[in-house]
């Protein structure tokens, strides 16, 4: 269960989930991973450290470039039945937040 707890913790944050989603499509250098996020590099590196400590990603530095890739074994472990459900519900909450914060018309403030 320890590995699952770690995976849950690692994936409990939208930035970290986004990083893992990106890495599922293939390895990427840190610079490229950080590009979509409006946060400083130190804050972003902290997220990467959590992912690496919890074993969801691995990284290696060659020269001045650190490349990350997804740890398939750990991700597969995190793919248990309950974690799939969790991912669905967390994703749903994230979509609700995005919709309310970014898309929902302002005039609809009064409850239905």
Residue 42 sits in the site that holds other proteins (CB under 8 A)? no
Residue 35 sits in the site that holds other proteins (CB under 8 A)? no
Contact 77, 3 (CB under 8 A): yes
DSSP, res 80: S
Contact 20, 70 (CB under 8 A): yes
Dihedral sign for Cα 37, 76, 74, 63, please: negative
Size of the residue set binding other proteins (CB under 8 A): 44
Which of the residues 48 through 67 are near other proteins (CB under 8 A)?
Answer: none
Residue 33 sits in the site that holds other proteins (CB under 8 A)? no
Residue 88 sits in the site that holds other proteins (CB under 8 A)? yes
**Cα separation, 23 vs 38, whole angstroms:** 19
- Binding region for other proteins (CB under 8 A): 5, 8-9, 11, 14, 17-18, 20-22, 24-25, 36, 75, 78-79, 81-101, 103-104, 108-112
């Amino acid at each position: 269960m320890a590995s699952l707890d770690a995976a849950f913790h690692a994936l409990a944050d939208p930035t970290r989930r986004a990083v893992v989603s990106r890495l599922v499509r293939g390895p990427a250098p840190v610079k490229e991973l950080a590009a979509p996020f409006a946060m400083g590099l130190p804050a972003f590196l902290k997220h990467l450290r959590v992912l690496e400590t919890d074993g969801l990603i691995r990284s290696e530095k060659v020269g001045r470039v650190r490349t990350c890739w997804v740890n398939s074994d750990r991700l597969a472990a995190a793919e248990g039945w309950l974690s799939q459900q969790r991912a669905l519900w967390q994703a749903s909450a994230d979509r609700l937040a995005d919709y309310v914060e970014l898309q929902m018309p302002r005039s609809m403030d009064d409850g239905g």
